[in-house]
Amino acid sequence: MPKVLISDKMDPKAAEIFRARGVEVDEIIGLSKEELAEIIGKYDGLAVRSSTKLTPKILESATNLKVVGRAGIGVDNIDIPAASAKGVVVMNTPFGNSITTAEHAIAMMFALARQLPEADASTQAGKWEKSKFMGVELTHKTLGLIGAGNIGSIVADRAHGLKMKVIAYDPFLTEERAVELGIEKVTLDELFERSDFLTLHTPLTDQTRGIVSREALAKTKKGVRIINCARGGLIDEEALKDALESGHVAGAALDVFAEEPAKENALFGTPGLISTPHLGASTSEAQVNVAIQVAEQMADFLLDGGVTNALNMPSLTAEEAPKLKPYMALAKKLGSLVGQLAHDAVKGISIEVEGAAAELNQKPITGAVLAGFMGAYSDSVNMVNAPYLAKERGLDVREIRHEREGVYHTLIRVAVMTDEGEKSVAGTLFGEDAPRLVELFGIKIEADLDGDMLYVVNEDAPGFIGRIGTTLGAAGVNIGNFHLGRRDGGGDAVLLLSVDQHVDEPILLEVCNLEGVKTVKTLSF
């Protein structure tokens, strides 16, 4: 009988379901890292919320672990690459707590508008300070959403009921979906400039970390009120403290903090700050939803091999898996490449397979492309749920199959349709299993898409390669590999550099300022 450990506080329904399905279960809450590492080896499954941190070190001791179930959405407490490397499936419950979290954001917005916590404390202290607590109405105010996915779109729906004007910045939001949601799609700068209330609903990724920075806060309207029920690292907390103290930001309601549990934080005690201890998902309804869902999904997997909402595993039969594996790795890298490079809203995506790839089940290849593509924007995407999410968001997905071989024995081409037209990338397998990019936006180029990379478009002119090499070398960035392609002599050239470390913003700026450079972007695979 498989054995599961529940290591975070979870609704009793989870344990009930495990037992009813024939899975042995222990509930041990509040284990230290060392204690968890000591006992994890006994378990086939681990069910968590956000307190348990599943680190590579703990995974080292997890000799029997097959599945980790996150009763919730964000999986930043689970080291997914380490779990994948160990063959451990990671599942989450992407929708079970979205309504509850959206409601918390709305509650925070009301609390800010009417200073409810301060007014309550003052009244209960017998002060009756009626004139001190002058509020603002929400009606006709502009609510700016950063992130209009599941939670953001529920917040938008509720805000419409409050007669607010909703604007959003979300690079993945198409115009069609925005119209459907009644949201005006804007740039990030415009969102900062126009919002009376600003609320965050994105995962914490390299792109979103510190998105509400000191510079961003300087662009906001005086008197803006900010709500964060997503992840702490999205806001520069020190800059927010300064902006609250100066009165530029009239209030901030935070459910999440850069360091959690936030038993101490420099923001505490700042005028205008309202805080809750990561309560976004804490309603009995949401906790029952996620507990039932996580237990059912984990039991399905442990007892029958069924896979739902896995973040690191495609749904595949045992026979297909080994043949498809290298194609899926290639497909995911190509999807990720276009996801990282396509700045504008993508309306559609086509996945074309040719030669040997056309003899295989195309669904997992499509799933892998979509997982790579959407993984650039969200941390809840996997090969199983990516096609569903793409449909939900109005993304037109096309699959094309050519059985004939072209120049390569096998080829996968991924094309995205944006407002600027169609852009495509293509790749093949070298030696049957080594994924290789062979074409990038119409330019022939051969490259491994691996680790940290730098994408540079420049005017093809003598001396450029030397200049970029010197600039990166002077900044201590080692170039591991160099891939060059060009449209035609004297036209644009594309460089894909494999670098040994992530290239930080100041170095990126130096590269950007080199003569002839048109575009520079970091990529990560």
Ligand X SMILES: NC(=O)C1=CN([C@@H]2O[C@H](COP(=O)(O)OP(=O)(O)OC[C@H]3O[C@@H](n4cnc5c(N)ncnc54)[C@H](O)[C@@H]3O)[C@@H](O)[C@H]2O)C=CC1
Q: Which residues are catalytic?
A: 231, 260, 278
Nearest Cα residue to 248 out of 227, 228, 272: 272
Give the amino acid at 173: L
- Largest distance between two CA atoms of the chain: 82
- Of 72-80, 131-139, 241-249, 315-323, the segment contacting ligand AKG by CB under 6 A is 72-80
- Residue whose CB is less far from ligand AKG, 204 or 414: 204
| 109 touching ligand X, by CB under 6 A | no
- Of 71-79, 129-137, 358-366, 429-437, the segment contacting ligand X by CB under 6 A is 71-79
What does the alpha-carbon distance between residue 510 and residue 196 come to, in Å, rounded to a whole number?
Answer: 36
Size of the site for ligand AKG (CB under 6 A): 10
DSSP 518: E
User: Which residue in the set 92, 93, 142, 202 belongs to the binding site for ligand X (CB under 6 A)?
Assistant: 202
User: Which residue in the set 89, 113, 256, 437 belongs to the binding site for ligand X (CB under 6 A)?
Assistant: 256
What does the alpha-carbon distance between residue 306 and residue 315 come to, in Å, rounded to a whole number?
Answer: 8
Q: Which does 64 bind (CB under 5 to 8 A by kind): ligand X, ligand AKG, none?
A: none
User: Which residue in the set 73, 113, 183, 472 belongs to the binding site for ligand AKG (CB under 6 A)?
Assistant: 73
CA distances from 452 to 93, 320, 374, 379 (A): 30, 30, 18, 18
- Of 82-90, 275-283, 343-351, 371-379, the segment contacting ligand AKG by CB under 6 A is 275-283
User: Which residue in the set 2, 45, 69, 74 belongs to the binding site for ligand AKG (CB under 6 A)?
Assistant: 74
At closest approach, how far in Å is the CB of 262 from ligand X?
13
273, 251 Cβ separation under 8 angstroms? yes
User: Which residue in the set 52, 92, 93, 208 belongs to the binding site for ligand X (CB under 6 A)?
Assistant: 208
| 203 touching ligand X, by CB under 6 A | yes
At closest approach, how far in Å is the CB of 521 from ligand X?
14
Q: Which does 174 bind (CB under 5 to 8 A by kind): ligand X, ligand AKG, none?
A: none
Across the beta sheet with 443-447, the strand order is 396-402, 346-355, 410-418, 421-430, 434-440, 443-447
What does the alpha-carbon distance between residue 505 and residue 510 come to, in Å, rounded to a whole number?
Answer: 9
| 207 touching ligand X, by CB under 6 A | yes
| 49 touching ligand X, by CB under 6 A | no
CA distances from 398 to 18, 347, 368, 374, 387 (A): 39, 11, 14, 16, 11
Write down how long the chain is.
Answer: 525
- Of 33-41, 171-179, 277-285, 407-415, the segment contacting ligand AKG by CB under 6 A is 277-285
Q: Which two tokens stand for residue 461?
A: 């002119």
Binding mask 79-118 for ligand AKG (x = CB under 6 A): ------------------x---------------------
Strand partners, 167: 144, 184
| 49 touching ligand AKG, by CB under 6 A | yes
Instruction: State the burial class of residue 248 (Cβ atoms within 10 Å of its Cβ: 0-12, 13-18, 19+).
Output: middle
- Residue whose CB is less far from ligand X, 68 or 229: 229
CA dihedral 455, 170, 384, 59 (to 10 degrees): 70
User: Token pair 């290591």 is at which residue?
Assistant: 7
| 148 touching ligand X, by CB under 6 A | yes
Q: Is the peptide bond before 387 cis (omega within 30 degrees of 0)?
A: no
CB atoms within 10 A of CB 333: 24
Give the amino acid at 316: L
- Residue whose CB is less far from ligand AKG, 72 or 144: 72
| 149 touching ligand AKG, by CB under 6 A | no
Query: Rule CB under 6 A: which residues touch ligand X?
Result: 72-74, 97-98, 101, 146-152, 169-172, 201-203, 207-208, 229-231, 255-256, 278, 280-281, 377-380
Q: Which residues bind ligand AKG (CB under 6 A)?
A: 49-50, 72-74, 97, 278, 280-282
